[in-house]
Structure 1
Amino acid sequence: MKIAVDAMGGDYAPQAIVEGVMLAKKKLTDIEFQLYGDEQAIRQYVTDETNIQIIHTDEKIASDDEPVRAIRRKKNASMVLAAQAVKEGRADAVFSAGNTGALLAAGLFIVGRIKQIERPGLMTTMPVFTGEADAGFDFIDMGANADNKPEHLLQYAILASFYAKNVRHIDTPRVGLLNNGTEETKGSELTKNAFALLSAEKSIHFIGNVEARDLFQGVADVVVTDGFTGNAVLKSVEGTALSLMDLLKSSIMDSGMKGKVGALMLKDSLKQLKNKLDYSSHGGAVLFGLKAPVVKTHGSTGPEAVSHTISQIHTMLSTDVVGKLVTYFDAQSTSSDTK
């Protein structure tokens, strides 16, 4: 397996990215890593050169670059070269912690969409607070597309169900449509029409509408929504989790010696809570619906999260989830052509 890594993307690149690659290398010996970026800056963090190839470039895409313009003008940027390697068959997947919009553009314009997929969706696995320690749900779309049609939400459901089956090994993933009520008649025209399409789709296990307040209780294995709503929910969750941890910390510090002793006794439990709130332990966000895995992790990510994301990409490649998607949509296209 060959993973093209944008080593210059992210707030702490290349250190956090390369150190994360080194962690992943210890567990995943069947991956060849192609590190794109400033060779001198990258090499100082490489502790083992086995299965490591460094492709030097002086150009990178900044976090404030306009995405499409950056992809078109910065032909030698580390992110662009990584995507190009996948397009040309020299790598099997792209990984970056850089500019999200630029990575979406690189995925669409360089790697390319799977035939029949109108709008690839940005998907991540979010934690749930019941059941197994690693329990979660696949959330799509998180913001790749601000405006959607009902047909797009149907495709998201099919895409995320494939992922849940092949990568997370859930035999029959429960698919829920995010809405402002569980009743079939609730919602906007988009969600009402999407509900009808999802209900008629035989390849998925659609359980109906789900509400935002129930997401982290394990109500569904896949949750589908439009990109505008998904991004708003994601940022609300992130903000709430950060505020909760800050509030807890300040409450402990302001509670005197008794509170601090209590916190010390609960240290392991508090650490577990923090880890549970950190969805990066499930891996990165996948731009799903492309011809190859294109995976994004948070710009401020550290080495551990990079390693988790690489493990996620490894599973996607070893299960050939993208290949199975291509076969499925090819069959759908053939079926519709013969009608």
Structure 2
Amino acid sequence: MGSTRARIAIDAMGGDNAPAEIVAGALKARQELGVEVLLVGHADQIKASLAQRKDVDISHLDGVEIVSAEEVIEMHEEPLTALKRKRKASIRVAMDLVKENRAEAVVSAGHSGAAMAAALLRLGRLPGIDRPAIGAVFPTINPNKRVLILDVGANVDCRPKFLEQFAVMGAIYSEYVLGVAQPKIGLLNIGEEPSKGNDLAVRTHQMLAENSFISFIGNAEGRDVLSGNFDVIVCDGFVGNVLLKFAEAVGEIVLQTLKEELLGQGWLGKLGTKLVEPSLRRFKQRVDHVEHGGGLLLGVAGVCIISHGSSQAQSIFNAIRLAKEAIDCEVLERIKSQYPESTQQSPVSQPSAES
């Protein structure tokens, strides 16, 4: 396993700041990571964004390719309906590039439901995986440790075997991408005892305890999520998405409150702000979703990173880096190794991703 010269398809029209910030992040990744990028979307708008950059000669863009896609799936549109109607939508064209082996990964900051639906419809699921899951990395109280939460929005309703599959995929990702030896797995619940929680939690606890592939250490309560005692925590997408949005808000509120309190103390507060500015910057890096780039959609037959809708250049860069790490660490191949090709899969049902 080593670093590869990955080709990554970027949904240049996805997100609040498309295409300018998406293009900027992709160019940064091209320059600093050595990846080849395929910018998918309105060719004229992408070229205009490139032309605005003083540091880029658009007549000599080695490793950067523009792939035309005339349509965009808007945030208010129903994912499956829009994907079927808009065959030239940027997210669909990007997924097709992976399907056709012209790219190894997709990065999108657009409609998350459309990204998941496109991945399922165009790439399909990995053998043995009933439902894909979106994994998000959270900071913990230990500055040298992170925790992977999944699912954070792909599946509102889950069965115990779905959560068990999430745990297996999360363990693989934690070990090979995040570098955690024997990652500790937890099940998000309302109490530590195996009998606590609803029927889903109780049945899932038993299945995880019996799975020899993972190191399951029990239930994780809400207060345990950021404790650093767990490396992977599994839950259904409804709870996970609420947790994700809450964590993002808390980080922003804490940072803003600290600044307001310090600045409200007059010149002494301003002096204090200058003194603690490096610490505030490090705090922001630990809690800001921008630093993590996005969530990896685990369980589909391709590397797919779903970024925050408000992503700017740095976040897109980090998302591309995340995609490259997943490729270099052969995450898909490692998940496949846990589920034989003969495993029967149930038909794909309508995705219920949070958008």
Partners of 2:105 and 2:40 in 1: how far apart? 13
1:284 pairs, out of 283, 286, 294, with: 294
2:202 is paired with a residue whose SS is helix
Q: How does 1:99-138 map to 2 (within 5 A)?
A: 99-132=111-144, 135-138=145-148
Partners of 1:314 and 1:87 in 2: how far apart? 17
Q: How does 1:255-334 map to 2 (within 5 A)?
A: 255-330=265-340, 333=343
User: Larger % of helix: which?
Assistant: 1
Partners of 1:316 and 1:274 in 2: how far apart? 25
Once the two structures are TM-superposed, the CA of residue 333 in structure 1 deviates from its matched residue by 3.5
38-47 vs 209-218, which moves further: 38-47
Partners of 2:36 and 2:256 in 1: how far apart? 40
Any stretches of 5+ residues in structure 2 without a counterpart?
1-5, 51-55, 345-355
Task: Indicate if the aligned counterparts of 1:150 and 1:193 stay in contact, CA closer than 8 A.
Answer: yes
TM-score (norm 1): 0.94
Once the two structures are TM-superposed, the CA of residue 298 in structure 1 deviates from its matched residue by 0.5
212-221 vs 4-13, which moves further: 212-221
Partners of 1:221 and 1:117 in 2: how far apart? 21
Partners of 2:283 and 2:162 in 1: how far apart? 35
The aligned residue for residue 222 of structure 2 is 212
Task: Indicate if the aligned counterparts of 1:127 and 1:279 stay in contact, CA closer than 8 A.
Answer: no
The aligned residue for residue 53 of structure 2 is none
Partners of 2:201 and 2:88 in 1: how far apart? 42
Q: Which whole-Å deviations, capped at 9, do the CAs of 1:220-242 have from their partners, x for residues lacking one? A: 11010111111111111112222
- The residue type paired with residue 27 of structure 1 is E
Q: How does 1:1-339 map to 2 (within 5 A)?
A: 1-29=6-34, 31-46=35-50, 47=56, 49-132=61-144, 135-330=145-340, 333=343
Partners of 1:265 and 1:197 in 2: how far apart? 51
Partners of 1:73 and 1:28 in 2: how far apart? 36
Partners of 1:36 and 1:273 in 2: how far apart? 34
| Identity percentage of aligned residues | 34
Task: Indicate if the aligned counterparts of 2:128 and 2:341 stay in contact, CA closer than 8 A.
Answer: no
TM-score (norm 2): 0.90
Q: Which whole-Å deviations, capped at 9, do the CAs of 1:129-161 have from their partners, x for residues lacking one? A: 2142xx211110001010001111100000111
Partners of 2:114 and 2:314 in 1: how far apart? 24
Partners of 1:331 and 1:209 in 2: how far apart? 31
Once the two structures are TM-superposed, the CA of residue 281 in structure 1 deviates from its matched residue by 1.5
2:37 is paired with a residue whose SS is strand
Partners of 2:245 and 2:189 in 1: how far apart? 17
Q: Which whole-Å deviations, capped at 9, do the CAs of 1:198-221 have from their partners, x for residues lacking one? A: 000000000101111121121111
Partners of 1:332 and 1:205 in 2: how far apart? 26
Runs of 4+ in 1 over 3 A off after TM superposition: 331-334
Partners of 1:131 and 1:88 in 2: how far apart? 41
